[in-house]
Each structure stands twice: as structure tokens, then as C-alpha cells.
Chain A
Amino acid sequence: MAEPVLEVSDLVKHYPLTRGVVFRKQVGAVRAVDGVDFALGRGETLGIVGESGCGKSTVAKMLVNLERPTAGSIRYKGEDITRLSGRALKAVRRNIQMVFQDPYTSLNPRMTVGDIVGEPYDIHPEAAPKGDRRRRVQDLLDVVGLDPEYVNRYPHQFSGGQRQRIGIARGLALRPEVIVADEPVSALDVSVQAQVVNLMDRLQSEFGLAYVFIAHDLSIVRHISDRVGVMYLGRIVETGTDTEIYEHPTHPYTQALLSAVPVPDPEAREHRERIILSGDVPSPTDIPSGCRFRTRCWKARERCALEVPALAVPEWFRPAGGPVAHDSACHFAEAVSIRRSAPGVSVPVEGHGNGPG
């Protein structure tokens, strides 16, 4: 991987649950993020996938300092931003910007597009001299594919896809190195999603951006990401390059998730092997002991309740190497063939692995 711009280690966010009005006492905690590690290289895209409640959005908020972590560190070029405040924090924030999910609520309806996209310059006046701002805003609109003449319009005059472009233009205004995008296309119609995904692809190569791309849609994440982390209940359970995760998943949760994604190919119907998980995700206030996935896992054994599996390359995959040898937090990580399309297009099984015991 290229030199990392962002390094996250052992990131934790717990929200306390309290009881009592006068004498508040803590009775528990929502363990939204419970020990997350990853690194993001320059110009790279890291996809984070997971179902609702897995903590992926909380991670995003901590990256841009909208939430303070309970523990752990976020290093931007070696500097721990969780310890910064005041001027130093402001300087770092300039380089890490966010694009939000909902283009309807993340734009102020009473501000014009020009004001919205130009607002970062009010906060960081050193980024653009005052007389130059209007031109810069118009350039930004042009870059994201909107008519520069629209600067005086209001958000309600735009469609969802156009609004998301406005949000992206605002994110680009300060020329950040990192953009954290939390479900940037999930509120958009299919035909418009593709436009926005292609735009983000183009901007990445044009400006050398690094993305943290958070989404629940596995297909879109694969499309845009170089590396992918799969989250479950506040932790990353498996991480690797897109091929490692999508073609050679070894964690049962990833395998179930991938097998559940509907593929737009009716011929594949009969050939697909689906893993249907039973039950729901446990509550983050009451995380199971040992492996947090064990309550829904068909492979769970006694050991899973006792020992927390570490996120590392499973020993039994190490000697042979290859795409199955990537980080997977499972005591019984195993290679399976993922068959999504009709025979002939299917992905061959490579490398067999079996957990010890």
C-alpha cells in the first residue's frame, strides 16, 4: 500500500446508558464501535461495508471529528487528531472532508448553492482570497458537472442526484486529501447512482483523493474500492483487497453477506447457494462473549464463546499464501467458492483451508 494518510488503531466509541435523574449512574453502554483498525493509503479507496447498526457511520463521524472517540487513535500523516484541539485541529480538518448520505437534509434549504459550496472558505479564509471565491465556486460546480450559472439557486430547485453533486463540490472546496463518504449514493435512483459513482471515480484520479467509502451496498463498494473492510457489531471482521474479500471470503459473516446479495441475472437463480442467516443482529448494548458473530453463525463451537478471534491472517492459510491469506477474525476461517453467476462464469475454488479442530 502507498504511504498511509490515515491510520486508525483500536478506535472505540461507547455511548453510556444512564439511569436516574438526580443521581445519574451508568448502567451500561452502547458499544457502537468496539476496536477498529485500518490504514488508508494516499489516493486509495477503502470501502467499509456492514448492515445497519454495525457502527460504520460512527466510524465516519469520528474520522471527521464530529464525534470524539472513547479510546484509540486516528493518525493523519502520523499526527493523532483525536488529541488535537483549537487551531491545530482546524488545520487538520481542512484535509479530511465528508460527503453525507442524504442530499435532502445535508444542505441548508435557506442558503444558495453558491453559499453552500463556498461556506468552507468562510471557515478557512486562508484557502481562497475573498475576491476569488465566486469564481472558485463556479469552477467547483463545473467540476462536478453542474452548470456554473446555478450559483444563485436554492437546494429545492435540484434533483437528488444534483444535490449530491453539490454536497461533493462542498467536500472538494478545500482541496482535501481524504474524503469520507457515508452512503453517498444510497438515497439516489439507480440511473442516477451510476452518474455519481462515475463522478467520484473521476474526481479521485483528477485530485488524487483518498476515499473512505461507507455503504451497505456490496456491489457499489466493490466497484469503487481498492480494499474493503467488513464490519459487524462494531468491529471489522474481515479485510483485504476487493478480490480477496469478494472472490475468496473466509469469514462466515462475509460469506453470508455476499451470498445474500441479489444478482441481476435470472439464470443464476437455480445455481446460487444461499446462506440464509437466522435471527437478527444482537443489540450493541449486549454483545455476545467471544466471537460477536457466533449467535448467528452456523459454524459456532464452544471455543467461539470463550475466545475473541483476532483480526489476522489465519495461521493455516499462511504457508500457502495467495488470495485466501488475508485478515479474517474467525477461529474456523475457511475458503469457499462463491458462485454467483451461471456455471461457466463461476469463480473457481482456490486453496482449501480448514480451521484446526
Chain B
Amino acid sequence: MLLEVRDLHVEFHTRDGVAKAVDGVGYGVDAGETLAVLGESGSGKSVTAQAVMGILDTPPGRITGGEVLFQGRDLLKLKEEERRRVRGAEMAMIFQDALSSLNPVLSVGDQLAEMFTVHRGMSRRDARAKAVELMDRVRIPAARERVGQYPHQFSGGMRQRIMIAMALALEPALIIADEPTTALDVTVQAQVMELLSELQREYDMGLILITHDLGVVADVADRIAVMYAGRIVESAPVHDIYKAPAHPYTRGLLDSVPRLDLKGRELYAIKGLPPNLTHVPPGCAFHPRCPLARDVCRTDEPPLYEVSPTRGSACHFWRECLNG
């Protein structure tokens, strides 16, 4: 396994108390594999990724437990100096908002070249040539002419390509993409996702795709981990989950998206709201919104039950859910 997260806990100290943003999360990715981490805002999907990358703001955040095994090493035990060498070179991240993630006063060429001068000690001239090559790779037209331009001179889709180029620069083994296409239009989104999966195949990289879009997940993922209130509630191969979800939250999500090919039915709506992380309900965090909830759900937190060797569900009544 390329990356394995084990029992990760992250807390935030807020005025309202301690928010358990990540509460015992575990997942893994192999080389060449795509894991989609699915969840709504506040589910802890991005915080988990930040902890893995080592870019969590501490304080207010604090990692209170767990392991992040990357190629066998526990990253949480490394010194900041060593972490820096891993970050960028061995694992890289693509953010949602390319405009605010790029430096507005440096040309894109300089920002790309920086990867090579800092991590590889290349000369500026060689690094510049590499930058042009990368821009070509992510299919930015007229790369040689545009290498000196600034981020604001590029369209949203082109900026996201530059982010991808930057992530790929040092040929990392793992890429974490946090909502990489959310800010883009559908036609551009399709271009960018296609590019990303093509490059992933070519370099045999592991990809963690963080998203709330069930459509994108169905298109590219091999496995899915569904998060709710800081925990993984279901983890399964992509085909299994769409065929028959084994957790009521997953089922609710799938039923609540309107589909182009199924018109006319009233949308299923999960009642209520996601919980406040400083006051997560006892027992199963989803029980106040769950149609299957019973007494045991209010008192006992469900473990991740084994549904099949490749599949887990954190629901006491997963059998019932699986059978519809």
C-alpha cells in the first residue's frame, strides 16, 4: 500500500469547545489507484488530507492520534525538515481554487521553475525549460509564449492545468486533489478530469480525489470512502456502492441528486442538517437524520462492520440498508 492512514484524530480548539474534525479515520491507496473521499462541507474530508500532506494549521488544529504511513514510513513522526522533502517531491496537492493558490505577482513559469530550483537544485535556465515542458504536458497551448504570463492572464481551466503541472513537476507517487474541478464549468471540468486521469495512468500515481460530486466519483474512482461528521461511514469499491449502498447516509446522498436520466420523481431529501462538530450526537452521529435509527443507534457508536473483505459500513443495520 502506497499510503495508509490509520485511526487519525484531528481536533480544533474553538470558542464553543473542542471540535473533533477527524475522529478515527482510516483509508489506503495503492499506486495507480484512485480513492474518492466523498463528503459534505464539515465532514472532515479536507482536514484529513491536510493532515496527510502536513499542511494543517496548528494551532488551531491538533493531530491527537493515529498514523500516516507513506511507503512504510509514519509521516507524523518525521521532523518538519524531512516532511518538507516529502511534500512536493513525493506527494503533491491540487487545490480547488487555483487563483488563490497561485502567487499573483510571479509569472507561472517562475512558479513552476521554483519546484526544480528548490527541490532539484537546477539552474534557472534549465528550470525554465522544464516549466515550458510541463505546460506542454498539461496541454496549455503556446506554452513557450505563455510561460512568462501571470495567473490572472489565464482562464479558470488553464489555471487549474497549471496547478496540475505544478503538482506533477517532481513526479510524485501520490497526488491529493481537493475538489479540483468544483470551480470550473462542466465542459472544462470534463477536460481537466480527463487530463488528470490520463496523467495518473501514465505515471502510475496514487490519486486521492476529495469531492462532494457523486457524478465525478462515478466517472473516475476505483474505491470510495464516504465521510460524515469526521468519520468514515462507508468504504467500498465504486461499483458496489452505487449498486447498493450499505449505509443510510450514502443511500440518502445517492437518492438526493437529480439525475439527467431519471426525471419526474420527487427528490429524496435527507432530513435535518449535518451536526455541529463541537456537539456531535452520541452513538451514531447520523442517527438524528437516519430513517433506520433505533435505540441502539443513540447509545452505541457503530464500528466499521465488515460487509465483505473489500467493504465496510459503520451502520448497525447495514444488512437492512443493503437490501433496500
Q: Which residues of A come within 8 Å of B, CB atoms?
A: 51-52, 159, 161-162, 189-195, 197-198, 201, 216, 218-220, 222-223, 242, 246, 256-269, 274, 276-277, 279-281, 340-341, 345, 347
Contacts and interface: CB of A to CB of B under 8 A. Distances in A.
Given A190-B253, A194-B270, A246-B263, 14 more contacts: A189-B40, A192-B273, A198-B266, A198-B269, A216-B186, A258-B260, A260-B187, A262-B189, A263-B218, A263-B219, A266-B218, A267-B242, A274-B190, A281-B185
A52 to B, nearest CB: 6
A259 B267 CA distance: 23
B282 interface: no
B258 interface: yes
B238 interface: yes
Contacts of B261: 263, 340-341, 345, 347
A190 B212 contact: yes
A122 to B, nearest CB: 31
Contact of B269 (A191, A262, A269): A191
Interface string B241-275: 01000000000111011111101001111110110
B188 interface: yes
Greatest chain A CB density within 10 A among B261, B268, B271 is at: B261
Given A193-B256, A340-B261, A223 B186 contact: no
Contacts of A195: 269-271
Interface string B217-229: 1110100000000
Contact of B274 (A189, A220, A256, A277): A189
Contacts, number: 130
B158 interface: yes
A277 B236 CA distance: 33
B322 interface: no
Given A222-B263, A268-B218, A280 B269 contact: no
Nearest to A280: B155
Q: Name the 8 nearest CB pairs between A and B, nearest first.
A: A262-B215, A223-B258, A194-B256, A51-B185, A260-B190, A264-B214, A194-B269, A189-B40
A191 B256 contact: yes
Contacts of B253: 190-191
Contact of B267 (A194, A260, A261, A340): A194
B158 A267 contact: no
Interface residues of B, number: 46
A261 B269 contact: no
Given A52-B185, A216-B186, A264 B239 contact: no
Interface of A is mostly: helix
Nearest to A263: B215
Contacts of A340: 260-261
A256 to B, nearest CB: 6
B260 A219 contact: yes
Given A191-B270, A276-B191, A341-B261, A264 B254 contact: yes
A191 B286 CA distance: 13
Contacts of A345: 261
B230 interface: no
B162 to A, nearest CB: 14
B242 A265 contact: yes
Contacts of A265: 218, 242
Contacts of B185: 51-52, 216, 281
13 contacts: A52-B185, A190-B212, A190-B253, A194-B256, A194-B270, A219-B215, A219-B257, A219-B259, A262-B193, A264-B214, A264-B259, A277-B191, A340-B260
B149 interface: no
Contacts of A220: 258
B41 interface: yes
Nearest to A259: B190
B304 interface: no
A280 B256 CA distance: 31
Nearest to B189: A260
Greatest chain A CB density within 10 A among B194, B215, B260 is at: B260
A269 B252 CA distance: 22
A239 B273 CA distance: 37
A219 B258 contact: yes
Contacts of A223: 258, 263, 267
B240 to A, nearest CB: 9
A219 B141 CA distance: 32
Given A192-B273, A195-B269, A222 B258 contact: yes
A267 B237 CA distance: 12
